[in-house]
Structure 1
Amino acid sequence: MVSTLSHIREIERVGMGAVSPRDAPVVQSWLRCLNDYKLDPTIAQEAYIVPELKLREHREQAEELIRIGRSGLETLFNQIAEQNYVLLLSDARGVTVDFMGDPTFDNQLRRAGLYLGSEWSENRAGTCAVGACLVSGEPVIIHQDDHFDTSHIGLTCTAAPIFDTLGSLTAVLDISQLRSPTAKASQQLALHLVASTTRRIELANLMTRTRNDWVLRLARSPEFLDVDPDAAIALDGSGRITGMTHGGFGALARAMDLGGLSTRDVLGQSISQVFDIDVDDLPRFMRGRPNGERLLRARNGLVLFASAIAPAVNLRSPATPEPRVPRALRDLSRGDAAMERMLARAAKLAAKNIPILIQGETGSGKEYLARAIHDGCGGEGNFVAVNCAAVPEHLIESELFGYTPGAFTGASQKGKRGLIEEANGGTLFLDEIGDMPLALQSRLLRVLSENEVQPVGALKARPVRLRVLSASHRDLAELVKEGRFRQDLYYRLNAATLALPALREREDLGWLIDQLLSRIEKENGEIYRIDKAARAALSGYDWPGNLRELSNALRVAAALSEGGLIDLDCLPEHLFAESTTDTSQDDDDLRQALRNCGNNVSALARRLGVDRSTIHRRLKRLN
């Protein structure tokens, strides 16, 4: 054991800026003791035991945690008792509210502070495992002369934090010895045991407090999924994350590339923002299926095993239920405000047989939205898509309306059923309706007004019942003014309008990238990862071709990747070809406009007539 004098001198050297070979948590704690708490390493402090009345208050406040954790604490103590460890459970103020130790050594343990009622806050006791853990929120070993106070340098202490379901550090579990081997490495097993126990206590606490929520247990291997999972999260009836085992989930979050987020940041998010599932998928993760088949994919591609536990009372909706958006529509967005508003509107329209005009730039996903509306209204009948700009003008009539045998030169002798009839009982989606010839617009109007279709060469019309969705990237109202689109057809198609935002305006671009990449993975049978630089390049590009361009870029990148890693070299060259000279003046104008608004983004957005998110995205690109 080191001498008291050499220990004091080492602390003083660290305080003067000397480099120390000790672990970073120890050095950081020493500096807090010197600089923040103004503790003097030359003055030894006896262990402090709070008065009986004060201890009773601390224990009463921690009563439920003590009760919930009792089984885990007893199991741990049975594992370590023969090695002369004592077990301390301290509250968030560092006071020991539960204690297990050999009563034979009561007097020695009490003098050392390894006893019920001892206070191990860092500002009182100096560097110690409980205090350092309370400050850092991380498991820690404070071994012998790692301690700041010379009266504690014979002890070895190992501690891990316990968080409540909302991410607040609520307690610390510590196991300590009066005497131990000199090597600090001797305590690594102790660290593992303490961390494992705190994980189980957090799980027991989550299960106790979330009886009316779903609980999803997560593990990296299937063997201990139902008995000792790595982490667990609680979900309300709408699929929002209401709580979690923060210690365990934090470790998984780092493996899921969520390292920039604290576990608290995940609270309130939809489960589908973190994993590739929805609340409606939870029943398939319940017991009854082999553990090895209950697989869950995180947004970054990490595969985990999952086990779902249904609520004790099945509360499927919050107190003020949100409008039900069918999953087919929900799956088109993850958090973009403009998309969420549009999809909520689409969900209401999907329940009614109302003609809808979808407007948006080429490649922005108009057909995806149309198909989701069809699926969201029950999906009965066929979904038939017609690109009016892609079908040659001389064929579009026969394609749409069909024809009788021998109706014209070159016609099939069997005749042909038109696409409008193929959509009977379902949905007809007319993409790029603005490119439909005027002559055919009159015939389409008759279909919509009379609910009947007459094939080319037929003498009688046939009844049809269908939903008509149309889309265009062009301004149909302007085409009406120019006489290139029938006004009566425009009003017939435009009972309701849905506007799709361009990809460059969306706040959920990262999620869209992951979704498209996931589809490519399924097609290719491979797993791909995007490094930070490549993801930044994808996020910073303006995407004039929208989703179609993004999908093509990712397909190229996947084909060029080595070992599934997509880096900058894998991305198409045109993503980097934009000239900054054309935008520099606009950028300066934006900065000046922001200054003129007192650096108030909301005021600038109102002045420009755009959403605040548009300003934030532009500023982010300007750093």
Structure 2
Amino acid sequence: MAGEREHIREIEQVLSGRTSARDDVVVKSWLRCVDTHRLDPARPTEAYIVPDTQLREHREQSERLIAIARSGLETLFKQVAGQNYVLLLANAKGVTVDFLGDPLFMDQLRTAGLYLGSEWSESRTGTCGVGSCIVTGEAMTIHQTDHFDTTHTPLSCTAAPIFDTNGELAAVLDISLLRSPQPKISQNLALHLVTASARRIELANLMAQMHSEWVLRFSRSPEFLDVDPEAAIALDASGRILGTTHGGALLLAQAGGVDWRHAPSPIGQSISRYLDVSVDDLPSLTRGRPTEERLVFGRSGSALFAHAIEPQPTTGRRAPVEAVPKPIGDLSGGDPAMAATQLRAAKLARTTMPILIHGETGSGKEYLARAIHDCARRPGPFVAINCAAIPEHLIESELFGHVAGAFTGAAAKGRKGLIEAANGGTLFLDEIGDMPYPLQSRLLRVIAERELVPVGGIEPRQVDIKIISASHHDLRKLVDEGHFREDLFYRLNAASLNLPALRERTDFEWLLDRLVDQRAHLAGRTARLSPAARLALIRHRWPGNIRELANAIDLAVTLCEGGMIEPADLPDFALPYLTPLASPARLVALRAPSPEDERAALLDALVAAGWNISEAARRLGVDRTTVHRRMKRLRLDAPN
């Protein structure tokens, strides 16, 4: 096409040294694309989406930043509502780890690379908003033919860097259009908005990390000091700088009278090196004084308004970082796999991120979801919906509600749906993989827009909900088969939790005793397990997981006499396990009567397999991770 040939010719002219009307940042990027990245403008490359496994790794590494930035993204998305903008949050490698866009245009957005998992590094894509922002550390607009690759010339991308508290680039916030007006100046407002949002995300990150330290926030205007400061720094009790926003680093350099590009990092330096302020002055800069009186001066003579925020008070000793709140902590008795899940769940409970829980049927997904809700302390209720249990012809009105007269048999005054009933609280969507495909797009809109439209209605209703979903299906496989929307999968899977099967848990006996006590108490009886009954329960494979175990205990508590549960009181599945176990495989796979027997059996299996973990796992009929976990628990080390 003529337009493509003209674009390639212009790049070649720039490479030959001719002057260009393009912005200097674009010209330098074009030169890098050829000289450093070895890209060819005559060979366009389609947008690249990283594989799902890599995307999951990128998102897990950026999990904390995604949680902090999410509110800023949603606020920005509302500011540009109706203008067809797409928001991308990319990590320092240029991979999109979060995004907001109109669900109606998902196919077009994916094709253009404006999608979750798209990689916009300059080395792969050429000149682009995200990639060039990563290289330069500066906010910019790469508009249409500013792009190096002709594949992306219809796009207009405006990006701003997000720096961590140590001054390292952590992410890029990008706002893009599939189509835009021709003049580049049309994106000036977008540049202002994305830069302001990045600044606020940095500030939120600093406040979250440094809540137990002094924080100084700055503004050149007293009117905005307390509501929308321009920069912030964190200080320890001796007045040394612990962290800054990017604006804070620039401000300190200016106050110290040095060029920020060549100034050493302010981290670890005394605040008095830059400002005429000491730790003793900080209390006088709190909100106890009018904003116009909170004035500080830099060593260069510059003046700024400052707001000092005191360290958050603590009562007694500081709680350990790894502490898990009681509702989540009560879900296990020390199983390593569960402990990792509990720690992750405790961190996620404090965020509004959607959570997807994976686990076999009966493994306790709803218990975990309810515990997360209890730890989040949201004012609204916990509403659980089993997507597989509601008839397909009723599920839409059950979820979204309906207005009066929406259909034959509808309530005369209309009815609030379960989603709206969860407003202010947590919506738990169990067996989400069984949700009818047509309804998935409507749920996607609820997540993206935080609003719903009842059946038969036209006016949207705002909802504030934390969404936790669960499935025993492999949702990724359902996506590949076309039974589950990919965009909804990524929305729900912002963070994931995995529940181990009961047969894999090392705290089985703790859980067993806990259930016996609970079920006996509910039945108004006392009960305990005889050694033979305990052994039969330990040996069972528990395909139904905790739900099957709870049913077995309910039966046993009901049938037992004298408070002692015997094998005869257990379900019929227990009978085959009342004879001695015959092989190392069964001792390991089904649990041995004692740790010593299990250790001996596992050792025999490992020796027989020549200490090949994969082979031992195959012979035992368990996963490699199970063998590794039990080796660690039983203190079995492979010979050198």
Largest Rg, 1 or 2 = 1
Q: TM-score, normalised by structure 2?
A: 0.48
Q: TM-score, normalised by structure 1?
A: 0.49
